[in-house]
Amino acid sequence: MTTLVTGATGFVGAAVARRLLASGHEVRVLCRESSDRSNLDGLNVEIAIGDMTDRESLDTAVKGCDAVFHVAADYRLWIPRPADMFKINVGGTCNVLLAATDAGVKRIVYTSSVATLGIHPNVPVSDEETSVSYEDMIGAYKQSKFLAEQEVMALIKKGVPAVIVNPSAPVGPGDIKPTPTGQMILDAAQGKMPAYVDTGLNIVHVDDVAAGHLLAFEKGEIGQRYVLGGDNMSLKEILIEIASQIGHAPPKFCIPHNVILPIAYGAEIWARLTGKEPFATVDGVRMSKKKMFYSSDKAIRSLGYQARPAREAISDAIAWFREKGYFMEPAQKSPVNKES
């Protein structure tokens, strides 16, 4: 079976490609000419050069494929031109799914995000059925993923054979950028987070997310969506776990959100002047006012999905970052050597 994976040079996409190869799929990956392909090192994959905004390249990439895993997305909490994110996450998604359907692909797995799900003060843990609207979406990333998922659902009603998965916050090997969650782990491991805010995340190992993608392909119902998550943890608990694994003291001070917000505004102004990503974002602070806790019960029940403890995911992330030279412990006082 020939399977196309978009986003396979990235974090989750590379994990999905590895899982598919291990399961006997012949894997073709879509990537731009300029993409960093280090996540593909050692993988027996066919490379198709193309771009989600270029329909002709997609038609070529998907030709002869039996399945498509559309994992690619622009995942950033801050972007100087939000329209660029919508072009990729919404327009690009429609292009991929339509190209796949026109090519006769029998099964598509679309990687959405828990960012599209509702979060309410009176609902401690959200799932696929928690009510939500576009007005609840904070920032360009959440907004674009919400609209993309709406477009996918509309295409499914027109006959596109897609199953939707909604990963939470994956961590682990291969986070080359790194993602916002990976950067948080890096900063905490280096002692760069002396304080924290009262928020929470659902932490999951990237390889468990990849396994969930394959389960959705094999057992998922077209038109359904499945949360692929792990453990719900407060940020304080996450930082304590990281500190314990590294061997230094965790941060002791909780900073109110309204204290950080003006700092984030200042950081974004500076980012626009310098072109560098801000160390804190307004959208990030606004999102942190809610604990992003989710349930994977539907995937467990319907797909047989399982996730290892979050501490193992964090441990594997730290080990990979260390091995690749992204950081050394503060006590060693050596400079960070982050790969590009």
pLDDT tens track for 227-268: 999 999 999 999 999 999 999 999 988 887 777 777 766 766
Query: 3-class SS at 31?
Result: strand
Q: What is the pLDDT of residue 266?
A: 75
Across residues 279-287, what is the average pLDDT? Answer: 68
Across residues 276-287, what is the average pLDDT? Answer: 69
pLDDT tens track for 27-62: 999 999 999 999 999 999 999 999 999 999 999 999
Question: What are residue 140's phi and psi, to 5 degrees?
Answer: -65, -40
**Residue 32: burial class (beta carbons within 10 Å; 0-12, 13-18, 19+):** middle
User: Degrees (nearest 5) of the Cα angle 311, 112, 37?
Assistant: 75
User: Could you give the count of Cα atoms lying within 13 Å of 91 in the half-sphere of its Cβ?
Assistant: 11
Q: What is the pLDDT of residue 283?
A: 67
Tell me the H-state helices in 23-107.
55-62, 82-86, 93-102
Looking at the DSSP bridge assignments, the partners of residue 201 are 233
Above 70 in pLDDT, residue 329?
no
Number of other residues whose CB lies within 10 A of the CB of residue 134 = 11
C-alpha–C-alpha distance, residues 231 and 293, integer Å = 8
